[in-house]
Amino acid sequence: MRKLKLQVQITVNGFIAKPGGELDWMTWNWSDDIKAFVTDLTNSMDTIILGRKLAEGFIPYWADVKANPDHPEYEAGKTFTDTPKIVFSKTLSKSLWDNTTVLNGDFVTEIKKLKDKPGKGIIVYGGAEFVSSLIKENLIDEYYLFVNPVAIKEGLTIFDKIPDMKKLDLIDSKQFDCGINLLCYKARVD
């Protein structure tokens, strides 16, 4: 069975964005060690799933990067553009983007079907509402939390829909030269 992995940047106090979605708190100047780690993680996947809100910015951004061979993130742009994407949406009826399928049905059933297909891993990047729903339904197998060295007063969290508690097991941790720390957990199945 394929694994669904979450990759997200997060504050030390558990937010993935400010209340309006602002990301001005993130560490943008990544060191080579975190770039290599994220590249390896990305290359272990062959499917990206996104909620509609994130897809509307994510997909066009990386398509623009891929269109410019001189862009410093060109290789990432190729990867994110060329990797098949599935966007879960309640409002879109068809895909607005190349190499992307829109699904409107029950995301729990659809993701379980994806996990049962042969292939490499599946990765999800957000946003908060979509990821919260995935966590609530116990669909995420591994959590790659890139903890930025910052706390913000309030914001969007991904753990607000859990019924009471979500138990996780630490499987890896790393400190990167840019100040970000990785905490990697697997979902505990009790």
**Mean pLDDT of the 145-171 span:** 95
pLDDT of residue 126: 77
Confidence of residue 189 (pLDDT cuts 50, 70, 90): confident
pLDDT of residue 190: 67
Which pairing describes strands 181-187 and 168-175: parallel, antiparallel, or unpaired? antiparallel
Distance CA 187, CA 190 (A): 9
pTM of the complete model: 0.94
Could you identify the residue written with the tokens 């990386």? 62
Helix (H) or strand (E) holding 185: strand 181-187
Per-residue pLDDT reduced to its tens digit, 75-130: 999 999 999 999 999 998 888 888 999 999 899 999 999 999 999 999 999 789 99
Q: Are 179 and 149 in contact (CB under 8 A)?
A: yes
Per-residue pLDDT reduced to its tens digit, 33-83: 999 999 999 999 999 999 998 999 999 999 999 999 999 999 999 999 999
Distance CA 79, CA 42 (A): 8
